[in-house]
Amino acid sequence: MTTLFSKIIAREIPADIIYEDELCLAFRDINPQAPIHVLLIPKQEITKLVDAVAGDQALLGHLLLAAGKVARQLGVGDAFRLVVNNGAAVGQSVFHLHLHLLAGRPMHWPPG
């Protein structure tokens, strides 16, 4: 299922893109939940995390490494949170796998 994130990858709709490599893209969330709120997405369409398969292993690892790179690039390498919403019941609204990178304010645990 194609989502608006595919359109962001294709530059068909604008986004504040802060990182890109051959496999993924990072851009600022349109509805930020923290002073820094970036979405990191694979260019390959994966609907949600649970739909990833063994062949996606390298890509998933790449996303985590890229998240660390983006956090360092933003100056928050020592204090950030990654969130993956998997499924509408826990808040997933765009069905193209994405990591939320949140930083810049105190965060509580457990998350709500």
Q: Which chain residues interact with ligand DGP by CB under 6 A?
A: 4, 15, 27-31, 39, 85, 91-94
Instruction: Give yes or no: 98 in active site.
Output: yes
Pick between residue 12 and residue 78 the one whose CB is nearest to ligand DGP: 12
Q: What is the smallest separation between the CB atom of 57 and ligand DGP, expressed in angstroms?
A: 22
Residue whose CB is less far from ligand DGP, 39 or 103: 39
Residue corresponding to tokens 């808040």: 91
> Both tokens of residue 72?
């360092």
Q: Is the Cβ of residue 22 or residue 31 nearer to ligand DGP in the bound state?
A: 31
Active-site pick, 37, 98, 100, 108:
98
Tokens of 60: 């998933």
**Which of 21-51 are b and which e, b meaning 16 or more Cβ less than 10 Å from the residue's Cβ?**
eeebbbbebeeeebebbbbbbbbebbebbee
> Facing residues of 28 across strands?
38
Hey, is 60 helix, strand or coil? Answer: helix
Beta strand 24-28 with 17-20: parallel, antiparallel or unpaired?
antiparallel
Least Å from the CB of residue 7 to ligand DGP: 8
Q: Smallest distance from the beta carbon of 9 to ligand DGP, in angstroms?
A: 12
The residues annotated with a catalytic role in the active site are 98
